[in-house]
Every structure is written in structure tokens, then in C-alpha cells.
Amino acid sequence: MAEYDPKKGIDTQISPEGSLEVLSQTEVNRLKCTSENGQYELLRGCSLAVLNCGSNTDDSKAVLAQNQQYHIEVLQQDRGIKIHLTQAPASAFVDGSMIRGIREHLSSVLRDIVYVSSEVEHNSRFDLNDSDGITDAIFHILRNAGTLKTNTKPNMVVCWGGHSISRLEYDYTKSVGHELGLRNLNICTGCGPGAMKGPMKGANLAHAKQRISHGRYLGISEPGIIAAESPNPIVNELVIMPDIEKRLEAFVRVGHGIIVFPGGAGTAEEILYLLGILLNPQNDDLPFPVIFTGPESSREYWQTINQFIGLTLGYQAQQRYKIIIDDPVRVAREMVTGIDQVEQSRLVSSDAFYFNWRLKISPEFQQPFEPSHENMASLNIHLDQPPHLLAANLRRAFSGIVAGNVKAQGITAIEQLGPFQINGEPAIMEPLDALLQSFVQQQRMKLPGTEYNPCYEITKDGK
């Protein structure tokens, strides 16, 4: 029975549900407070994030600071394992019992951290310095999580967009999700609030109308972002990838099409990642439907994004997506048509429906980027390189801004050393600066009502 102290939180023991009910002694030891390689702090941070579902902050450092007395321990017992929680957030419980969905998410966190540590990072089978090795590792993480479903037609739509969006934009994401759900499509998002929650909520209602009892609401996160974007309660499949690069690759490997809603720096990072991959000449013939959409109020937002892409990556990049404003039905119909083309292509090539093996992803998009001040200042942001490589470096710039905005490590680095310096060719930096300023003005960098102090400074070559 959980012990409750309103000043301290809840102390309790629970059994895993839905994932990893049994662990070896070696796996348990890796998760102890004294474990090496930071496994305990990783587990503590990710588990606190799922327990903090519904939090009104996107500052992961603040979440950790507010719960300094929270601890988690994995106990091995003869009949399985128990998870012992000390001073867990009371919002995760009802009348002393943990909410079932949160318990499932907590189990998923444990499953993925154990698997990545035991079977990927400490296994010579996976060469994480090799492109194919990274993709193979991602496949096995997803397979271990039960994400890869065989004997099903392509039907997974990835939805990207900001956690800090207006109510009008949020309602629009629900409308699009509803139209997708009515057409028997499932939803995958980054699992957090805002544009990550809305499509799932709309699809959930539509699936109920269509009497679809096994609708999939797949959330894919990573340790650096999950505390700022805790999984929303609709997510019924949660996967924690080791880093942002593997998270992004997981999206494009399991998704059959992508819809992007308005967002901020994180959404721009996702767009640049996706376009950088699709601009690789080896992917020219692969169908992959991409739609940018939002309500009428977002028209200017998408015009700014489209202009930025044209000025930096060129006309060819603009041909890899469609922009549809204020028309959820058309968005859904276009996506259905695009996924039909994906199905036919994979039938011809004998490619799997559940994992996009043929998509070529170069190492520049796979190797983890550490957003240190030195690395941010040395990014190659110039036009004298292929567009897909420029996209990779621009993606890294936005990844650093995301880290400085919401990730604990990035926030600390900014506090200690000041804003990141991002330097490059004026022809790129001027539209980049304009785009970022528009995000700030539209309150897309932080949750509404939160004062934003830029974590970056834009400079131009020779200035």
C-alpha cells in the first residue's frame, strides 16, 4: 500500500506491467544507485518524467530540482521484480494506487534502458560507429519494444509539431487526427503535449466511432527531451531511444508518411532532418508523403518556413512536401493516397511494411551531436556543400537550441558559459535569424506565459 505525505510525495512498490516483468541479476545491478555509466541517473530522470505526466513546465532542469528527494530502485524477487519509488509525484496516483497508463509507461522506460544498456551499448554485435550498425540497433530496440507489427498494411502516420502551440492550433491537430483515425490510420508522435497529443486524441475518438479496438498511439522519445515533454496519457506504446538521432531515425523507419504541424525549434530540427534525408540522391525514387499543415492562422508561419527552406536548401527541397492550410479532410485524403503509393512501392521491392529498410540515411544524420559551445560555434553553415549536408548542419544548430531551451544539460551549459554562438554565411544566417525571431515572437520557444531568454546568438562571417 502506498504511503502518502502531501509534503513529500508517495512511497510505494509496484510491479512492472506490459513490459519487462523479469530481469536478470546483472540487469538489476546495472540500475542500482551505485551502477556505473550513469544508468541510475538515466533511469531516475526518465521515470520521473513519466510520473510527472500533465506537468505545466517544459524545463527539465526545474523538474529535477523540484523532485530532489525522488528515488527509484529495482528490486529482484523470486517471482519477478518490484520497482520501489521514494517520494514519487502524487499526481501519478489515485487513492494510493498508480494510474495504470503511467505504470505501463514506467515499465517501458525500464525495458528500454535495460535493453539499450545490456544488448546494444555493451554488445559488440552492434557497431554504433557504422551507418548500417546504427540502423540495425534501432531495429532491435523497436523490435524488443514490440513496435514492429507484421501482417498489417502500412497505416502509421508520424505527426510532428510543437509542444507550445495555441489552442486553435491544438484543436486543428485533433481535427486532422480525427480524419486520419476515421480512415483506419494509426498515429505516432514524440509522445508529449500540444501537437504530439492532439492527433492522438482526435484519432482515439475516430477509432471509437469505427469500432477499432486496437488503435495504436505510438510515442517515441529520448532521455534528453522526455522530462520536458512527458508522455501524454493517450500513448499506449512508449519507446525511449538512446538519443535524438536514433529517435529521429526511428520515426522515419516506422512511419509510412509524416504530417508536420506548427512548432518551434524542435519542429524545425525535425523538418531539416527529414528533408536532408529525402534530398539524398539515393532516396529520389522512394515515395514518402510529407504534408505541412495548420489552421488559417498558421498560413504566415508556413510561408516563413517554406521561404527559409527555399533560401537555404533550394527548390528541390520544397518539392518534397505539400502545404495544406485549414483542410483536415484533404490532409487525410492526401496521406491515404501517399501511403497507398508507399505500399505499392514496397510490394514491388519486397521491402517490409513495418520498417523502412531501403531509406538511405547517411552518417551525418546518425552520429550523436553534442551541443557544446565549441561544437555549435564550429558548425559548417555555408552554401558550398550539397543541400543534404547543409540540412544536416542546420539540423544540428536547431538541436543545440532545443537543448539550450529545455534540456537540463543544455540549460546548465548556457547558465555557465552564456548563449551558443552560431556563425555562418550571411545568405543563410539572415533567414535563419528571421525564422528564429518569428518563433520567439509567436511564443513557440517555451510554453505560453514563460519568459524566454534566447540561448543563442546569430553571427555572420566577417561580422
Whether residues 61 and 187 fall in one domain: no
CB 376 within 8 A of CB 397: yes
The cell for 169 is 492550433
Find the helix or strand (DSSP H, E) in which 360 lies.
Answer: none
Phi, psi of 54 (to 5 degrees): 90, 5
> Final residue of a domain: which of 333, 359, 385?
359
> Final residue of a domain: which of 359, 383, 404?
359
Q: How confident is the model at residue 35 (pLDDT cuts 50, 70, 90)?
A: very low
Q: Are strands 257-260 and 156-160 parallel, antiparallel or unpaired?
A: parallel
Whether residues 350 and 375 fall in one domain: no
Q: How confident is the model at residue 53 (pLDDT cuts 50, 70, 90)?
A: confident
Whether residues 84 and 172 fall in one domain: no
CB 15 within 8 A of CB 76: no
pLDDT at 418 > cutoff 80: yes
| pLDDT (tens digit per residue) in 291-342 | 999 999 999 999 999 999 999 999 999 999 999 999 999 999 999 999 999 9
| pLDDT (tens digit per residue) in 428-461 | 999 999 999 998 888 888 766 677 888 999 998 7
Closest CA to 107 of 140, 72, 131: 72
Closest CA to 318 of 275, 350, 351: 275
Q: Which residue has the higher pLDDT, 1 or 362?
A: 362
Measured CA to CA, the distance from residue 316 to residue 138 in angstroms comes to 29
Whether residues 347 and 374 fall in one domain: no
The cell for 254 is 516506422
Whether residues 226 and 149 fall in one domain: yes
Whether 96 is covered by a domain: the verdict is: yes
Whether 45 is covered by a domain: the verdict is: yes
Q: Are strands 186-189 and 156-160 parallel, antiparallel or unpaired?
A: parallel
Whether residues 355 and 272 fall in one domain: yes
Closest CA to 275 of 313, 324, 247, 245: 313
In 10 A of CB 171, how many CB atoms?
Answer: 14
258-to-67, 136, 244, 250, 442 alpha-carbon distances in Å: 36, 22, 17, 13, 24
> Final residue of a domain: which of 330, 359, 388?
359
**Beta bridge mates, 217:** 187
For position 88, which CATH number holds? 3.30.1850.10
Whether residues 302 and 381 fall in one domain: no
Whether 273 is covered by a domain: the verdict is: yes
pLDDT at 18 > cutoff 90: no
The pLDDT value recorded for residue 29 is 66
Q: Are strands 290-294 and 257-260 parallel, antiparallel or unpaired?
A: parallel
Whether residues 346 and 304 fall in one domain: yes
Whether 83 is covered by a domain: the verdict is: yes
Whether 156 is covered by a domain: the verdict is: yes
For position 296, which CATH number holds? 3.40.50.450
Closest CA to 107 of 12, 232, 22: 22
What pTM does this model have? 0.90
User: What total of structural domains would you count in the chain?
Assistant: 3
Sign of CA dihedral 40, 46, 51, 52: positive
Q: How confident is the model at residue 60 (pLDDT cuts 50, 70, 90)?
A: low
Among 28-32, 396-400, 423-427, where is mean pLDDT lowest? 28-32
Whether residues 155 and 270 fall in one domain: yes
Whether residues 351 and 435 fall in one domain: no
Whether residues 387 and 355 fall in one domain: no
The pLDDT value recorded for residue 43 is 85
The mean pLDDT value for 17-33 works out to 63
Whether residues 259 and 330 fall in one domain: yes
| pLDDT (tens digit per residue) in 217-249 | 999 999 888 877 789 999 999 999 999 999 999
pLDDT at 39 > cutoff 90: no
Whether 56 is covered by a domain: the verdict is: yes
Whether 136 is covered by a domain: the verdict is: no
Range of the domain at 201: 142-359
Whether 151 is covered by a domain: the verdict is: yes
Q: Which residue has the higher pLDDT, 409 or 196?
A: 196
CB 147 within 8 A of CB 218: yes
Q: How confident is the model at residue 36 (pLDDT cuts 50, 70, 90)?
A: very low
